[in-house]
Chain A
Amino acid sequence: MTVSLDDAIAHKEHTALSRVLTSQTFWVLLAVLAACVFLSFATDSFATSKNLFNITRNVTFTAIIALGMTLVIITGGIDLSVGSVLCLCSMVVAVTMHAGYNIYIGIGASLLVAVIVGAFNGVLIAYFGFPPFVVTLGMLSIARSLAMVLSNNTVVFQFGPDHDKLLALGGGSMFGIANPVIYMIVLALLTGFVLRWTRFGRYVYAIGGNEKAARLTGVPVEMIKVAVYVLSALSAGVAGIIQTGWLGAVTTNLGTGMELQVIAAAVIGGANLEGGVGTALGALVGAALIEIIRNSLGLLGINAFWQGTFIGGFIIVAVAFDRIRQRR
């Protein structure tokens, strides 16, 4: 058989279907759905509207930060500071509003702090060549300490004149969907759009694929890196603000250990810690799987101490899956 050059160039090796079937996100999504079906039959309490409402809302805090984390991971970096940054940003909005400022100033101050923290991480990493692991580990410690300084390590639960607005923002719902879920969906769509349809997204992948090549071809590598750490901190800040409104109180141990859960969500959803691979949908699906594991252990009457084993097992399975796929 002779194939002309034109045919060979036009030929598509991968159909849409084969692409879906080889994607880790798809299989994890399948696992999530299978778990949901199983739990609906195995328990009486899973498929109740109250439980589903809780699950979807609980997913959002991890998922929103996992969106930012996914950007960082795609560039080949890591951000260990997100749990502490969530706490710091919660504390900033809480303390600012407690002092009598309105909700806009509170949220503005909180997001500004997130931008400063992210820029600090990003500049040290991109312009001074510090390893991301070290810089963000330092920030993990700094941000939580600042949250303690800010609140004098007390619980803040009165948010001034706009108290009710903040509670409605995080705790309310529209059409039976919890507000945080709506924010998560909007942010996920935005992240997905940016990754697929903008230059910025293209450069994020390029840096993770081959940073040297990206630099040689004129990609503004340093600026993009600073931007992804800023976005990661912002996602933690947004999650922090929403969580403050939902909980109605902020303590200085809010978000402790959350970085690991967020990284787990991103990796289970298909982001590769070596860089170059990851999607917004993957971040959501990974976060959903983790939350469902957590929820189902309780419903099935399994001791909650097993949670870490299940999540850890899924991380390892996800990476093993990736290896097998690459070998083929």
Chain B
Amino acid sequence: MAVLELTDISKHFGAIQAVNGVSLSIERGEAVGLMGDNGAGKSTLVKMIAGNFLPSSGTIRIDGKEVTLHKPVEARRHGIEIVHQDLALCDNLTAAANVFLGRERRRRIGPVSVLDHAGMAKRAGELFRDLKSETRPRDLIRQMSGGQRQAVAIARTMLADAKLVLMDEPTAAISVRQVAEVLNHINHLKAQGISVVLISHRMPDVFEVTDRIIVLRRGRKVADKRTENSSPEEITGLITGAIETV
């Protein structure tokens, strides 16, 4: 059974039709590349899966059950995690605070429950170690490099046992070595049976880690094929519209 199944999903913002009648399904442990030009609707599509937007029409099924995701916390409850485009970090907070943003750990002291600063820093440190990132939990994001920010955004997706991890351009602003770490991480997720949706403009990365590639053009799905049966040339043609559809 598919982990995620979208049927005829659309989203419009006023007159702008950002996503138009998209259907797709993602299997357990599968990595799917989502490609398309700027404004094609990729971010809008994954935000609907992550509970940031409600679709204007269409249905979302998780493990075969239809769901309505009003809030990010509801998507997380279904095992869906996301790395947002531009990472969505607060510069003025620490790395640990960002990792736990929206799901802070608390502990009880007598009648009151307070933020568990030490516990959160400890757990964040463990996640950074797993990601092989030299990121200190108590440092402010403001002082961090692109790679460290990246690690913070990815660590967020590792807090709970995810079924599906959505990555919206996670390698847009980092060094070659760090890109390799991210791709490694994706392979690691697949090996654990976790599904991944990777949005990226970096063709070689997408061909390296994905099993399947879906192309969006102006909100519509124009291709959905196995990575090994495609080529960067074909995908480029599909993205630009030189190839109409396959």
Contacts and interface: CB of A to CB of B under 8 A. Distances in A.
Interface residues of B, number: 35
B228 interface: no
Contact of A206 (B90, B106, B132): B90
Contact of B114 (A198, A206, A219): A198
Interface of B is mostly: loop
Interface in A1-35: 5-6, 8-14
Interface residues of A, number: 29
B222 interface: no
Interface in A175-225: 196-199, 202, 205-206, 208-210, 212-219
Given A9-B135, A206-B90, A218 B71 contact: yes
Pick the most buried of A12, A196, A205, A217: most chain B CB atoms within 10 A of its CB: A217
B22 interface: no
A12 B138 contact: yes
Nearest to B91: A209
Nearest to A7: B134
A169 B73 CA distance: 45
B88 A208 contact: no
Contacts of A276: 90-92
Interface of A is mostly: helix
Given A202-B97, A202-B115, A218-B72, A13 B136 contact: yes
Given A8-B136, A12-B138, A209 B115 contact: no
Given A9-B134, A197-B114, A199-B106, A209 B93 contact: yes
A199 B114 CA distance: 8
Contact of B72 (A196, A197, A212, A216): A216
B72 A217 contact: yes
A88 interface: no
B125 interface: yes
B89 interface: yes
A257 B212 CA distance: 64
A10 B104 contact: no
A5 B134 contact: yes
Interface in B130-187: 132, 134-139, 143, 156
B59 interface: no
A216 B90 contact: no
B84 interface: yes
Contacts of A139: none
A265 interface: no
B188 interface: no
Contacts of A196: 115
Contacts of B87: 213
8 contacts: A5-B129, A5-B132, A9-B136, A12-B136, A202-B93, A208-B92, A212-B88, A276-B90
